[in-house]
């Protein structure tokens, strides 16, 4: 995904996604879903606001 150099941003996005989803217990598959959503948001350059309040089409991974 080319995010290796943006690790701080990915970690911050993971924390935001975790909060957005209610700090769910992290067991497979919920752990994968939080991580996949964080990676998608970071790689696509979208924000939490875009996900929560957007009228535009956002493509999410199947795990989400």
CA angle 56, 13, 27 (to 5 degrees): 105
Q: Please state, in angstroms and rounded to a whole number, the distance separating the CA atoms of residues 26 and 53.
A: 25
Domains parsed from the chain with CATH numbers: 4-53 (1.10.472.90)
Q: How confident is the model at residue 1 (pLDDT cuts 50, 70, 90)?
A: confident
* Per-residue pLDDT tens digits for 2-45: 888 889 999 999 999 999 999 988 888 888 999 999 999 999 88
Q: What is d(CA 39, CA 47) in angstroms, rounded to the nearest whole number?
A: 12
Q: What is the mean pLDDT of residues 51-58?
A: 81
Q: With beta carbons less than 8 A apart as the criterion, state whether 38 and 17 touch.
A: yes
pLDDT at 36: 93
Who wins on pLDDT, 25 or 1?
25
């Amino acid at each position: 995904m080319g995010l290796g150099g943006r690790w701080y941003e990915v970690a911050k996005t993971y924390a935001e996604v975790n909060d957005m989803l209610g700090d769910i217990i992290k067991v497979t598959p919920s752990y994968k879903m939080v991580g996949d959503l964080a990676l998608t948001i970071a790689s696509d350059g979208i924000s939490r606001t875009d996900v929560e309040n957007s009228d535009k089409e956002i493509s999410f991974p199947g795990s989400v």
